[in-house]
């Protein structure tokens, strides 16, 4: 076990958000993906600690630092099925308090195994999707297709394990169609419930087969040390600049693909749309027939504008039956953005940032729509528009908890009652309800009063703490 007492672990844990402790449990991978150096570095060997040894270490860390959530550091935790079966069986029997996360290949787990892992304490999985097109997946020697990737998405959602993904862009000979397929995997993962779906630009690591194959096409990055080596001291930076042939990771393979700066822009915009205006982007792809690449390129043409202004301009130029729905989704996503604050801008740079506190946000927002956006987004995997969705609805958005923003759809009649009751205190509302004769109006007003109480009890409510009342109104 590492000498944890040699560093101020308590200080690190207090600074971390969330409080998840990384535990190194092994190294190595027996696969041979061309972009990865793990296999060659560890001679295609899989090394890992005994399950009992791991659990003893978790118990020690809990006794010493009080941590109960852990992230297992291993290159490919699910690499060896016989070990994984042994681990899951042991933890199912002996682990009575710890939650853990791990990294897997999508083709190493199936629904039955994921269910067993959840029963053994697994709460989070990182999955390297790596590419979307068959051409790039085969060039990587990763998988023949994305079939197993999507099976993993569905299985994790069904089992209830939160998951994260990463997809690589900028691979040699990557066409616009290949990039589109990569972006489809990124945003499809969000549709299936991924808590984070990130991108990375191919990094030609020392020892990776792809690095040696394309060594003649390596371009040292002018700003590579700033992008990839934020924390490097000056003498190390000088060493890297003097010997780019050794430190290939600070280069880019330019061969049949686009410039490195373009992929950096794609990365930044993709991170943005997994956090804001996701429904709009999804609809423009699925409902209006645009590609993700077309939309990102249109935004890059307006790079001098804030993203919200650029989206407004793009939507203003839209015509036809989908324009109305797109503008409604933009307004709805703007409501959701009000509850995110500015921390999303920092997440574009550091995807691991988790705000320790929630900034002051609106108490609630209410907007009239001429499109039923709540029904449109009821299944985030398929956001499309049908003529019957062009109907007046009113949407209320509020923060139900520190981590959850709730949306409720009201009819115009319910909204009229809501606007009459919401500014009032609980006692005044109850007095008004008592004066309404029993009947349909009384039922509607009572339900709306329950919604008002829920919003009053939300974390962003200005000093109000009445009890939460269940509301029969439609909610997502």
For residue 284, is it left (φ>0), alpha (ψ between -120 and 50) or beta? alpha
How far apart are the C-alpha atoms of 67 and 61, rounded to whole Å? 7
Q: What is the token pair recorded at 250?
A: 């600070």
Quick check: 174 pLDDT over 70? yes
Taking the model in full, what pTM does it have? 0.89
Query: Residue 357: which of 17, 74, 23, 117 has the closest Cα?
Result: 17
Beta strands per DSSP E along 55-194: 69-73, 99-104, 122-130, 162-169
Residues 300-328: what's their mean pLDDT? 94
Quick check: 351 pLDDT over 60? no
pLDDT top residue among 358 and 214: 214
The pLDDT, as a whole number, for residue 344 is 57
102 phi/psi in degrees, rounded to 5: -155, 175
Residue by residue, what is the 3-state secondary structure of 254-285? CCCCCCHHHHHHHHHHHHHHHHCCHHHHHHHH
The pLDDT, as a whole number, for residue 230 is 59
Quick check: 469 pLDDT over 80? no
Report the share of the chain in percent with pLDDT over 70.
Answer: 90
Beta strands per DSSP E along 84-144: 99-104, 122-130
Query: Residue 78: which of 162, 159, 152, 187 has the closest Cα?
Result: 152
How far apart are the C-alpha atoms of 458 and 140, rounded to whole Å? 48
Q: Minimum mean pLDDT among 256-260, 340-344, 364-368: which range?
A: 340-344
The pLDDT, as a whole number, for residue 17 is 62
* Residue 165 banded pLDDT, cuts 50, 70, 90: very high
* Residue 348 banded pLDDT, cuts 50, 70, 90: low
CA separation (Å) from 175 to 179, 297, 467?
6, 14, 56
The pLDDT, as a whole number, for residue 471 is 41
Helix (H) or strand (E) holding 37: none
Beta strands per DSSP E along 348-427: 365-369, 393-401, 404-410
* Residue 470 banded pLDDT, cuts 50, 70, 90: very low
pLDDT digits (tens, 9 = 90+) for 178-223: 999 999 999 999 999 999 999 999 999 999 999 999 999 999 887 6
Residues carrying CATH 3.80.30.20, the chain: 4-275
Strand order across the 122-130 sheet? 21-24, 69-73, 99-104, 122-130, 162-169, 196-201
Q: If you ran DSSP here, which 8-state letter would residue 77 be given?
A: T
The pLDDT, as a whole number, for residue 362 is 74
CA separation (Å) from 286 to 189, 191, 340, 381?
15, 12, 25, 9
Mean pLDDT estimate for the chain: 89
* Domain 4-275, CATH class in plain words: alpha beta
pLDDT digits (tens, 9 = 90+) for 233-270: 888 888 888 998 999 999 999 999 999 999 999 999 99
Quick check: 347 pLDDT over 70? no
Quick check: 473 pLDDT over 60? no
The pLDDT, as a whole number, for residue 226 is 60
């Amino acid at each position: 076990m590492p000498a944890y007492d040699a560093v101020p672990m308590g200080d690190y844990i207090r600074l971390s958000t969330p409080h998840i402790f990384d535990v190194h449990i092994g190294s190595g991978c027996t696969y041979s993906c061309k972009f990865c150096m793990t296999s060659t570095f560890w001679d295609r060997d899989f090394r890992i600690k005994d399950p009992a040894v791991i659990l003893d270490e978790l118990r020690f860390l809990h006794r010493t630092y009080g941590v109960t959530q852990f992230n297992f550091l291993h290159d490919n935790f699910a690499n060896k099925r016989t070990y994984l079966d042994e681990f899951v069986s042991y933890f199912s029997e002996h682990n009575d308090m710890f939650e853990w996360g791990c990294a897997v290949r999508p083709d190493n787990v199936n629904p039955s195994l994921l269910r067993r892992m959840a029963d053994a304490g697994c709460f989070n999985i990182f999955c390297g999707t790596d590419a979307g097109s068959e051409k790039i997946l085969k060039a990587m020697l990763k998988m023949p297709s994305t079939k197993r990737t999507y099976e993993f998405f569905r299985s994790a959602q069904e089992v209830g394990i939160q998951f994260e993904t990463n997809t690589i862009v900028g691979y040699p000979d990557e066409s616009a169609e290949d990039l589109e397929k990569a972006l489809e995997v990124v945003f499809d993962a969000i549709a299936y419930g991924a808590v984070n779906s990130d991108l990375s630009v191919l990094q030609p690591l020392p020892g990776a087969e792809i690095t040696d194959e394309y060594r003649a096409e390596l371009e040292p990055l002018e700003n590579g040390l700033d992008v990839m080596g934020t924390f490097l001291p000056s003498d190390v930076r000088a060493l890297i600049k003097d010997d780019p042939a050794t430190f290939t990771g600070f280069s880019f393979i330019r061969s049949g693909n686009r410039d490195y700066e373009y992929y950096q822009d794609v990365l930044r915009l993709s991170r943005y749309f997994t956090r804001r205006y996701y429904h709009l982007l999804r609809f423009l792809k699925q409902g209006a027939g645009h590609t993700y690449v077309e939309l990102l390129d249109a935004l890059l043409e307006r790079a001098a504008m804030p993203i919200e202004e650029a989206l407004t301009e793009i939507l203003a130029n839209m015509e036809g039956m989908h324009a109305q729905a797109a503008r409604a989704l933009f307004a709805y996503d703007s409501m959701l953005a009000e509850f995110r604050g500015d921390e999303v801008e920092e997440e574009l740079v550091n995807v691991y940032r988790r705000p320790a506190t929630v900034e002051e946000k609106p108490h609630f927002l209410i907007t009239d729509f001429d499109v039923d956006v709540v029904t449109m987004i009821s299944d985030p995997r398929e956001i499309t528009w049908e003529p019957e969705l062009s109907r007046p609805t009113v949407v209320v958005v509020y923060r139900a908890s520190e981590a959850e923003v709730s949306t409720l759809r009201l009819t115009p009649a319910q909204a009229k009652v809501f606007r009459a009751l919401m500014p009032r205190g609980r006692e005044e509302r109850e007095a008004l309800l008592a004066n309404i004769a029993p009947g349909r109006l009384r039922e509607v007003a009572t339900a709306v009063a329950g919604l008002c109480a829920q919003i009053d009890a939300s974390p962003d409510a200005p000093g109000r703490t009445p009890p939460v009342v269940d509301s029969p109104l439609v909610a997502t």
